[in-house]
Each structure stands twice: as structure tokens, then as C-alpha cells.
Amino acid sequence: MPRYAYVNGAYLPHKEASVHIEDRGFQFADGVYEVIACIHGHLADERGHLDRLKRSLSEVGMKMPLPEETLRFIIRELLRRNRLQNAIVYMQVTRGSARRDFAFPAENTLQSLILTTWPFHYDNLPKMEKGVSVITVPDIRWKRRDIKTVALLPQVLAKQKAIEKGVHEAWMLDDEGYITEGSASNAWILTKEGLLLTRKADNDILRGVTRTAISKICMDLKIEMVEQSFTPAQSYEASEAFMSSASAVITPIVTIDGHNIGTGKPGDVTLRIYEEYRAYVEGLRGQQLRWSA
Ligand code: PLP
């Protein structure tokens, strides 16, 4: 069965899907993106991701390339054509294709919209059972990390450093030595006093949609979540740690810079939040998609 992608109005075999060499996403990283998990046919927090897409677009002076309803249809149609119930949906909007010039192109330039999906199985993940390790690296990004831009080179370099050190993720450090977030995830620790710390969502980090869901879950579970920056030294002393993102969901962290966290195994509070998150996505608010093969 061919795999399909969506490119500017057409569903194309993935192998043939491409954009023009003058696309501003390719030339300038002049674009934004979103990632949504589809878990057992439920699009996790679709509303939050579409809202953030609109916000990212508006912060860089772009508009939605299509009415929201059409985009929601395309997401479902692409999943249907690819026969996927458990998947990651990637969508990217750029300022379109035009002769290379830093200034914005003419107003009537068509924005590019591309979507891809790939299978991702969320059950029985080894990293949920064993947890993962992270290292800390300097955060060398720009000052608008709240925008989900495709300009991801600093994150690419951070993640590569992690891989070269044999670990899963890199937590980035601001100039004062506080952790901002992971290369593609938000960072969390549970202190020995039982406070769940994560950095305040200002321009220094991306306001994760999963992070927002976790903050609601914490209220239900009566876990005290505090928006507070923390240092690597504080994280080594934590009783639990985890990372969150649409694709990583909630992944327990068992070592940071080689220091064992808590018992060195995924923590109970982390696993509890993970279970609640899955229930939230699959039952409470997720909108189940149904189609026959
Ligand atoms: N922070 C960064 C830098 C990310 O790239 C991501 C996700 O890709 C996140 C945080 C988590 O955001 P979300 O939970 O909306 O996926």
C-alpha cells in the first residue's frame, strides 16, 4: 500500500511529494509546524494544537492557509488513506514559494501546506517501562521559543549531542544555568517535597499542549504543580523526572547527566499522570475517529 502525503491541495504518494526549491520554508525556515498524536483513533488535543498553529502563524505575520474545518478534514483524510489509527500527524505551513528575498513575498503568494503521517504505537513502549536518560546542553536558540517554527537547527544539534552520548534527549540551559526545556519536549521534575516543577511558559519555551493537559490532570490528582525554573543540580536531587510532548507523551526520565533520579526507575507519580493522560485522550475529550479499511 503506498504511503500518502498531502501537499498544497493534493494527496500524493509519499515518494513523489515535494515542494519547490524556492519555498521559503526551505530557503529561510520561514514557516511553522504542529505535531498531533493519533492514539487508538483519537486525535490528542487537536483543539490545542490547532489553536497553537494559529497563534504561531499570527506571531510571524501569516494566516491559516485554509479554513480550520478543511484542515481538520485533511488530517482525517490523510490518516484514512494511510490506514492509521496510531500515528503522528505532522503539518507545516510556510510563507510559500517566491524569488529569494528576505522581505515577505507579494500578498497573493500562496502559502505552502504539507502534511505527513507515520505509524507510531503508543502501547507497551519500552521507554515507559525503563525510562530514558537525558543530558544538559547550552540553549543556543533565538528569543521567541514560544513560536513553533521550523527553524530547528539548535534543537537538531542538541538532540545529536544526546544521541552521541548514548542518551535519549537533551535538556537545554539558559544563560543563568536554568533548564529551559528539551530539544523537542517540556521538562518536569518532582521534588522530594512533592512539588511538580516545570518552567513558566513565557517566550523562553514552547507552551506544550501536553504540558497544558498535564496541568489540568495535576488539579484533578491534587498534585501541586509549580511553574518554576530549576537547575541541573536541583534536577539531580529530584525524586522523579519526565518529559512531555505530543509524540513522547509523558516519558519517565531515570538519569540526568549520569545522575540516577530517585530509585533510577520510572516514578509512581509520573506513571499516574501518564495513565490519566491516556484516559483523557482516549476517553474524556479525544474525538474518536472511525473508518473502515
Ligand atoms: N518544547 C519543544 C521545544 C518542542 O519541540 C515540543 C514539541 O515538539 C514541546 C516542548 C512539547 O509540545 P507539545 O506537548 O505541544 O508537543
The pLDDT, as a whole number, for residue 126 is 87
- Distance, CA 53 to ligand 1 centroid (Å)? 12
Task: Determine the residue of 185, 207, 249 to mutate for testing ligand 1's pocket, defined as the one with the most ligand atoms within 8 A of the Cβ atom.
Answer: 185
Per the annotation, the verdict on 63 as an active-site residue is no
The pLDDT, as a whole number, for residue 293 is 33
Least confident residue range of 122-131, 143-152, 181-190: 122-131
pLDDT above 70: residue 285: no
The pLDDT, as a whole number, for residue 286 is 45
The pLDDT, as a whole number, for residue 284 is 54
Give the integer Cα–Cα distance in Å for 109 and 96. 6
The answer to whether the beta carbons of residues 65 and 93 sit under 8 Å apart is yes
> How much is the average pLDDT of 157-180?
98
> How much is the average pLDDT of 174-192?
98
Ligand 1: residues with CB < 6 A are 35, 181, 184-186, 206, 208-211, 244-246
- Distance, CA 171 to ligand 1 centroid (Å)? 12
For atom 10 of ligand 1, which residue has the closest CA? 185
- Give per-residue pLDDT as tens, 197-249: 999 999 999 999 999 999 999 999 999 999 999 999 999 999 999 999 999 99
pLDDT above 90: residue 76: yes
Give the integer Cα–Cα distance in Å for 196 and 265. 17
Give the integer Cα–Cα distance in Å for 242 and 223. 15
> How much is the average pLDDT of 68-75?
98
Share of the chain above pLDDT 70, in %: 97
Task: Determine the residue of 206, 216, 242 to mutate for testing ligand 1's pocket, defined as the one with the most ligand atoms within 8 A of the Cβ atom.
Answer: 206
Q: Strands 249-256 and 240-245, how do they pair?
A: antiparallel
**Cβ count within 10 A of residue 176:** 7
Helix and strand numbers, DSSP H then E, in the chain:
8, 16
Q: Which of 54, 63, 130, 148 is catalytic?
A: 148
Task: Determine the residue of 137, 245, 249, 273 to mutate for testing ligand 1's pocket, defined as the one with the most ligand atoms within 8 A of the Cβ atom.
Answer: 245
pLDDT above 60: residue 93: yes
pLDDT above 60: residue 290: no
- Joined grid coordinates for residue 254: 531515570
Least confident residue range of 30-34, 175-179, 190-194, 275-279: 275-279
| 209-221 and 46-59 helices, crossing angle to 10° | 130
pLDDT above 70: residue 6: yes
Q: What is the mean pLDDT of the chain?
A: 95
- Give per-residue pLDDT as tens, 31-53: 999 999 999 999 999 999 999 99
Closest CA to 190 of 164, 141, 245, 228: 228
Q: Which domains does the chain have, with CATH numbers?
A: 4-119 (3.30.470.10), 126-281 (3.20.10.10)
